[in-house]
Structure 1
């Protein structure tokens, strides 16, 4: 009986750990978005901090605001992270853009991992 328990305990522990590991990773979205279809979000892009401010919450004087000023004012914005740092090159602050994101983290402030950014008319 002792031998059986010595065998059963490690095998049971192994099965428990490997089974739970799959559950941890299950349901987590991949950082993949094909860039097709409508953008995930639209807003005003502020180049300095790579943030996106909703159009309805943006005033012209906001162009000079920093990440900290938006955060201190408890204003709505999303911090953008790109797959490639050069994706947002040439897009000026205050430009209306659409972004395609695979993951939007519900943190404060929100963070979005984006696969595409495009200037809108």
Structure 2
């Protein structure tokens, strides 16, 4: 009985600790090393979007934002500092260092750093 009490407490504490850290990002990118994503930066309807890949599947400006996102694999970008987007125009190929990717609908990527690779 003396053995089961410490083992039970240990299991209880380690299980609860996992629940405490459950909502924290599992990986935080510090902006160093290789980028998390590469793609094309698009600004549509006051949203910053990163479309993965080398080219857009549908570039029509007449499409709604939801239709545009359904035809292209991309993420809405949340940046810690909006000054990261200075000088980056819509349609520019970029690299992004993102620490947290929220697979919601629509998906969001929280990025620490973004930089232009070249103009499309």
Q: Provide TM-score, normalisation by structure 2.
A: 0.68
Q: Which runs of 5+ in 2 are unaligned?
A: 1-11
Q: Does the CA contact (< 8 Å) of 1:51 and 1:77 recur in 2?
A: yes
Partner of 1:118: 115
Q: Provide TM-score, normalisation by structure 1.
A: 0.68
SS in 2 for 1:52: strand
Larger strand percent: 2
Partner of 2:5: none
May I ask how many residue pairs the two structures share in their alignment? Answer: 102
Q: In 2, Cα distance between the equivalents of 1:34 and 1:58?
A: 28
Aligned Cα root-mean-square deviation (Å):
2.7
Which has more radius of gyration?
A: 1
- Distance of aligned partners of 1:44 and 1:69 in 2 relative to their CA distance in 1, 3 Å threshold: same
